[in-house]
Structure 1
Amino acid sequence: MVSSPAARRPFALFASLLAVALVLAGCSSPGSGPSATGSSDAWVYSDAIGTKVRVDHTPTRVAAFADQALTLLSYGITPVAIFGRVPVKTDSRFAGYDLSKTTIVGNSYGEIDLEKLAAAKPDLIVTGIYPTDRKGTLDTTQPDYGINDLEQQKQLQAIAPIATVEVGGAGQDVIDANVKLAERLGAKASTIAAAKKRFDTAAARLTAAAKAHPDIEVTQMYADADGVYAVKPDDEPVTQLYKSLGVDLTDLHPDGEYYWDKYSWENAGQMMTGDVVLVNVEGYQVADLRKQTTFADDPALKAGQVYPWIDAALNYTAQAAQMNKLADLIEKAKSVS
């Protein structure tokens, strides 16, 4: 899902290491105990990086990075612990979910309170991994997304096994992988079916909106002091999903650098082709964009068609809401480019 360039693994520079010296009392290695003996009662899950994750029972106490936690919550599974990239309590994506029984163990990228996490006694930790190129390469020499470094990842693995979900390729494939894991963790079939029905309805509506307004081009971007970063729709699972449903998304250099088309503020005029612009909430917003002399004349900005856009998790519930919101924007938009 779309986040700031500094937070996306393909472009992150995690040069500094987090020096952690904690003794995790009572935490066993994921390779010890009944789960390593081949017990017929063991829960075994093959994750995105090819690891066969083993627990001696179906995990009931699951900890997760925020994006994966949102998906579990959407299917009726409440994590015992969550760590996020931004403060979880102010993350609007969690609105409507009861987190009263969930321990928040991290509110900034790579900052995880290992003592609190261990105290929550998870029997599984769920994280994500992003490809490093459009071939889908997964760099397992780097930590999973949301984890500061390999040392910290080892410390998490000393608390509970980690199951890694790939967040790359086709959006529907990521949704399907998340559903598979939720099913294995005990999500009710009726809950998933109801969420899928809402998703299918929203997808049909988005397709109809795009078809009825073929002249509306949508740009998804992030901006900060360094310039503008336009998402390349085929490289981001969420935008790939919308494109597959018929949405016309800005894609000026599809064969160029992976994931982002980057523009300095001096060259920002080169990417002003969208009629509707969705701006990532972690960066510059409308007031900031108006202060940039090279962006102030952007047709969508002048028409009031630039909107804050927050990442939505790749699950049926979140994407149904997001697709309905996007359909609303397309239906009311004017062609300005």
Structure 2
Amino acid sequence: MSRRLGALAVAAALLLSACSSGTDPDGEPADGGTAGEAGWSYVSGDGKTYTADEVPTRIVAHAYAAKALLSYGITPVAVYADGPIASDVGLQGVDLTGVEVLSEEWGVIDVEKAATLQPDLIVGDWWPAEDAYSGMEGGVEEESKKLADLAPVVGPSQGDSIVDLVEGYATLAKSLGADTAVVDQQRTDFDAAVAAFEEATAAKPGLTALAISPYEDTYAVAVPEYAPELLDLQSWGLDVIVPTTPDPDFPYWQSLSFENADTYQPDLLMFDDRNHPGNEDTLTAQPIASSIKAYAAGATTTWPAYWLHTYPDYAAQLERLTTVVEQADENVGDA
């Protein structure tokens, strides 16, 4: 660690501290986050309450977290992304004018540049399955993980529902001083989109779907337990198939060889939209593609994989998927 990095870490430690899980400074249950004359506090995804004498203003955020904060008028000083920002489906429409970009590659973050910005808060999703925040997971460069030495890392948890994650960012933004009056209308529009989706799935009770991400020589099938947007779709009536044998070392997926890509026969095949249409092209090139009934019938679409963080984005995806469900044939997989 450089001397400057160490000095900033000490300064951050003096500014913010992690307190006992789920309580405010007076020992009362915390409500998620507060900002005011008494300072700042936020119950983060790791279960700890973070406090400061002043509301943090110099924020470095994972790009998806930054999009959420920006939707509430909170502009970070820098972002780190998992890939090229211009081509990231989850970052379409985001305006990063004046914001430093510390990374456009997963697992690699320019911590030295981040140090010069003197951040007082790092924001990213908390991933319970990996016991880490975005950018701090296993496989990330050790040098890049030193971003956490610059300031405390906070953010809502990935869990059983993207709705909870979206609400978590709204709470965080409010604690940082955002005017969240707009969130009420956003939530109203979102609830209307959910209702329309539920109506569509109720009309197709036998419809099954499979979420996939083919690449190279692997037919990867998503495990809904670790994909909260898929859990949401299940809770709203879509029968998303649960693969039987998740990969033991990374249970987000069941990795099949293409020779076994017809193991599951859904009525609707949903491609990971982060890699689309390349992942669909990968499947197209495989001889077995014609044996996957949904693919052969043209019953394909995309699913918003791991990037939803705002009500407007989620509502737009639900509106699109509602149309897909309304047009789908719930007997394709049985043909």
> Is this a same-fold pair by TM over 0.5?
yes
8 Å Cα contact 2:210/2:221 also seen in 1: yes
Code of the residue aligned with 2:287 in structure 1: it is T
1:279 and 2:279 equivalent? no
In structure 2, the CA distance between the partners of 1:220 and 1:240, relative to structure 1 (3 Å rule), is same
Distance in 1 separating the partners of 2:15 and 2:134: 29
Distance in 2 separating the partners of 1:22 and 1:265: 51
1:171 to 143, 162, 171: 162
Map 1:312-331 → 2, pairs under 5 A:
312-331=307-326
8 Å Cα contact 1:74/1:317 also seen in 2: no
User: In the TM superposition, what is the alpha-carbon distance from 1:60 to its structure 2 partner?
Assistant: 2.3
User: In the TM superposition, what is the alpha-carbon distance from 1:28 to its structure 2 partner?
Assistant: 4.2
8 Å Cα contact 1:86/1:109 also seen in 2: yes
Q: What TM-score does the superposition give when structure 1 sets the normalisation length?
A: 0.81
Gaps of 5+ in 1: 1-19, 133-137
Distance in 2 separating the partners of 1:171 and 1:144: 21
Where relative contact order (Cα < 8 A, 6+ residues apart) is larger, the structure is 1
Map 1:193-232 → 2, pairs under 5 A:
193-232=184-223
Identity %: 27
Post-superposition CA distance 1:292-314 (Å, at most 9, x none): 11223322222222234443323
Helix, strand or coil at the partner of 2:57: coil
Gaps of 5+ in 2: 18-24, 26-35
Q: May I ask how many residue pairs the two structures share in their alignment?
A: 312
Post-superposition CA distance 1:69-94 (Å, at most 9, x none): 22212333222211011112332332
The equivalent of 2:29 in structure 1 is none
1:293 and 2:287 equivalent? yes
The equivalent of 1:332 in structure 2 is 327
Code of the residue aligned with 1:296 in structure 2: it is S
Post-superposition CA distance 1:15-39 (Å, at most 9, x none): xxxxx86843862425543546x89
Helix, strand or coil at the partner of 1:219: strand
Distance in 1 separating the partners of 2:84 and 2:261: 31
The equivalent of 2:147 in structure 1 is 156
The equivalent of 1:268 in structure 2 is 261
Map 1:52-131 → 2, pairs under 5 A:
52-131=49-128
Code of the residue aligned with 1:139 in structure 2: it is D
Helix, strand or coil at the partner of 1:64: strand
| CA RMSD, 1 decimal | 3.1
User: In the TM superposition, what is the alpha-carbon distance from 1:330 to its structure 2 partner?
Assistant: 1.1
8 Å Cα contact 2:83/2:106 also seen in 1: yes
The equivalent of 2:233 in structure 1 is 242
